[in-house]
Chain A
């Protein structure tokens, strides 16, 4: 009997070790789950430094991209032109020369000027402002970084693998970048009411992998469809998203573009 007890005592360290290992693994799983569920906005407030002039044109790398063959699209023929209005009066007038549209660029009242958009882009000035070597125009740019890193303006640039603080700040930077690239149409009737949810997957290096999906909150009208296009365009334009904590890469991102708020300003 004592032998059995001794034996029981003998094996219990192994069993204990096994037990401890199981507990540790289970606990590790649970801990990491909790820290992933992070919503931007519920994060430590970080002061946003003003955005640098926008020169970043890194295109998003898409997953399996089917190159569209430049085929002729189905035609929409204009019907035969109705005759120009006949003049019941014999002397035709002298049309007052070729009418030049008076170029008075009417700028709408500045809402939230995230950046003062320059009127035209001078490539020399553009390249002068770059700190990195000039970008080359490739059809399929790689994920290699080009141009100045966005971290110069990101409020917090940390490469550390996610504490909640750094992750939240990096996501704030992501939101800022989308904000800069999103051009909502506040002028059309109904444009101010559109809320669009755009989802995509982050690849290694922060680029967009695969399709970008959009979901319109509310009725699907031509106006809301056009607004969804603009939201999707913002994602493509803002990608790749740098300086996100590593564990975000591979995640799905859902962006809620709220025109109601954006147009209210």
Chain B
């Protein structure tokens, strides 16, 4: 047969040619076939809920348990995390230096795990912690903090910030403080004292004695100074109080009421209001030269100025149109332009630290609201509604607001709301308080 075939090939050039051609085609077809196909899948829906996270007690005794407790509380209060119940944990006794048994944590659907260890070395606290991605089975963060023992809360806040930032991409806001007016006494005889506390309500302490009414405090950008207004029976004074040295200095004497002080973002200026013969205008003082410049001149009430994060513009509250509205002008007072457009009264504007929003108080239909809008006035959204909500202040990451809420005949309390309006809750501070002001992230 072979002989026949060979002879057929030799004798049949057309068949030979076809044979070669077909082989070539087959070969090409085989080579052109990709080794592996890629399957495309589109996922356009998800399970939108706070991220389930496990924070077991840190090793190292009571302080370890306390630290993890503060971390859990911080994350839970942010509304973006759901710390799982420690009673459901399968793996026990996890320390910072051992890889977790991931399967145990997957069982309870923990997407992330924070564990740590506290040791005391030479009179100092050393805290090691790790953040794990449970399903990917890998470590996301590992840090070590050293601090004095009484600063254990600060360490817990710093860990909370690190975890928050790693899992959301946003900066945290847990290592911060809030200055506010603590109220006591009765409505007709209130005692108002300047007070300061951690953002979770811990470590409250008073900064003034209660001899005079105090109002509207604000932090400076380096968080070492607070400015506020003190109202006595005969006069009003704006003070700058240094929290570290306890030194207090007055902004100066003026012919009328002075109020509504705010630092510029670089801490070099203070914008405030001065009243002359019933007319309130905005002024700005350069703190090093101690010279004041008048920014508004119309006969309307102009007050509650707030700098943009770059210090170039000021949003303020003016009733020059007949009712209180929001205006934006240059930091030199030029080019004031109205930005609020809804019906209602707009007051207490505050520019967010990230520059994206301006928060405000709005009165409409007999109710008070905390709201936000873009700096050009668009996208106005009301986040809260009640008998009396007022005076929002921004957390340093520009996502959470604190404000004061009062019920009819009741004492004011501090509340917080996030910028979507969905996470609304009272602050942990149990007393009566108003006029909150949030510090920047502490260093």
Contacting residue for B23 out of A22, A62, A141, A222, CB 8 A: A22
Distance in angstroms between the alpha carbons of A178 and B47 in the assembled complex: 10
CB-CB under 8 A from B101, the residues of chain A are 137, 139
Q: Is A1 an interface residue (CB 8 A)?
A: no
Contact call A254/B47, Cβ cutoff below 8 A = no
Q: How far is the CB of B178 from the nearest CB of chain A, in Å?
A: 12
A62/B137 contact (C-beta < 8 A), A87-B205, A139-B101, A189-B399 known: yes
Q: Is A23 an interface residue (CB 8 A)?
A: yes
A175/B428 contact (C-beta < 8 A), A57-B107, A84-B203, A189-B356 known: no
CB-CB under 8 A from A108, the residues of chain B are 48-50, 79, 420, 422-423
CB-CB under 8 A from A252, the residues of chain B are 36-39
A75/B144 contact (C-beta < 8 A), A59-B103, A82-B244, A88-B207 known: yes
**B104: nearest residue on chain A (CB-CB)?**
A137
Q: How far is the CB of B249 from the nearest CB of chain A, in Å?
A: 13
Contact call B139/A85, Cβ cutoff below 8 A = no
Contact call A256/B103, Cβ cutoff below 8 A = no
Contact call B103/A137, Cβ cutoff below 8 A = yes
Which of B167-175, B297-305, B311-319, B374-382 touches A? B167-175
Contacting residue for B51 out of A8, A103, A185, A250, CB 8 A: A185
Contacting residue for A73 out of B142, B150, B168, CB 8 A: B142
Q: Is A112 an interface residue (CB 8 A)?
A: yes
Contacting residue for A179 out of B45, B130, B133, B356, CB 8 A: B45
Q: How far is the CB of A51 from the nearest CB of chain B, in Å?
A: 10
Give the A-B pair count, Cβ closer than 8 A. Answer: 356
Distance in angstroms between the alpha carbons of A39 and B38 in the assembled complex: 10
Distance in angstroms between the alpha carbons of A115 and B49 in the assembled complex: 10
Q: Is A263 an interface residue (CB 8 A)?
A: yes
Contact call A89/B8, Cβ cutoff below 8 A = no
Contact call A178/B41, Cβ cutoff below 8 A = yes
**A182: nearest residue on chain B (CB-CB)?**
B46
Contact call B169/A223, Cβ cutoff below 8 A = yes
Contact call B103/A138, Cβ cutoff below 8 A = yes
Q: Is B341 an interface residue (CB 8 A)?
A: no
CB-CB under 8 A from A70, the residues of chain B are 97-99
What total of chain A residues lie within 8 Å of the partner, measured CB to CB? 132
| Interface secondary structure of A, over-half rule | loop
**B210: nearest residue on chain A (CB-CB)?**
A89
Q: Is A144 an interface residue (CB 8 A)?
A: no
A11/B5 contact (C-beta < 8 A), A68-B139, A262-B46 known: yes
Q: Which of A72-129 contact B (CB under 8 A)?
A: 72-73, 75-89, 92-93, 95-109, 111-115, 117, 119-123, 126
What total of chain B residues lie within 8 Å of the partner, measured CB to CB? 121
Q: Is A181 an interface residue (CB 8 A)?
A: yes
Distance in angstroms between the alpha carbons of A70 and B130 in the assembled complex: 10
Q: How far is the CB of B140 from the nearest CB of chain A, in Å?
A: 8
Contacting residue for A221 out of B138, B142, B169, B418, CB 8 A: B169
Q: How far is the CB of A258 from the nearest CB of chain B, in Å?
A: 5
Most chain B CB within 10 A, of A73, A112, A256, A265, is at A73
Distance in angstroms between the alpha carbons of A116 and B427 in the assembled complex: 27
Contact call B25/A40, Cβ cutoff below 8 A = no
A265/B145 contact (C-beta < 8 A), A15-B15, A121-B109, A122-B88 known: no
A188/B41 contact (C-beta < 8 A), A26-B25, A78-B154, A108-B50 known: no
Distance in angstroms between the alpha carbons of A89 and B11 in the assembled complex: 117
Contact call A222/B169, Cβ cutoff below 8 A = yes
Q: Which of A178-196 contact B (CB under 8 A)?
A: 178-191
Which of B26-34, B253-261, B342-350 touches A? B26-34
A68/B41 contact (C-beta < 8 A), A62-B137, A93-B204, A102-B426 known: no
**A244: nearest residue on chain B (CB-CB)?**
B39
Q: Is A233 an interface residue (CB 8 A)?
A: yes
CB-CB under 8 A from A95, the residues of chain B are 202-205
Contact call B155/A78, Cβ cutoff below 8 A = yes
Q: Could you mark each residue 1-29 of chain A with 1 if its beta carbon is under 8 Å from any beta carbon of chain B, else 0? A: 00010011011101100110011011001
Contact call A99/B430, Cβ cutoff below 8 A = yes
CB-CB under 8 A from A23, the residues of chain B are 22
Distance in angstroms between the alpha carbons of A222 and B18 in the assembled complex: 61
Contact call A171/B39, Cβ cutoff below 8 A = yes
Contact call A175/B42, Cβ cutoff below 8 A = yes
Distance in angstroms between the alpha carbons of A221 and B49 in the assembled complex: 22
Contact call B43/A86, Cβ cutoff below 8 A = no
Contact call B200/A99, Cβ cutoff below 8 A = yes
CB-CB under 8 A from B99, the residues of chain A are 67-68, 70
**A224: nearest residue on chain B (CB-CB)?**
B169
Q: Is B337 an interface residue (CB 8 A)?
A: no
With A85-B246, A223-B168, A261-B44 given, can you name 16 additional A-B contacts, CB distance below 8 Å?
A7-B11, A29-B30, A87-B206, A88-B246, A92-B205, A96-B431, A106-B422, A121-B85, A141-B103, A175-B41, A179-B46, A223-B169, A225-B169, A236-B137, A255-B41, A262-B48
5 A-B pairs closest in CB distance: A73-B142, A223-B169, A11-B8, A226-B169, A222-B169
A-B contact pairs, 8 of them (CB 8 A): A22-B23, A25-B26, A37-B37, A98-B202, A105-B76, A120-B84, A179-B46, A257-B46
B interface, CB within 8 angstroms of A: 4-5, 7-8, 11-12, 15, 18-19, 22-23, 25-26, 29-30, 33, 36-52, 73, 76-77, 79-80, 82, 84-85, 87-88, 90-91, 97-99, 101-104, 106-109, 111, 128, 130, 133, 135-148, 150-151, 154-155, 158, 165-170, 195-196, 200-209, 241, 243-246, 248, 354, 356, 398-399, 418-420, 422-426, 428-431, 442-443
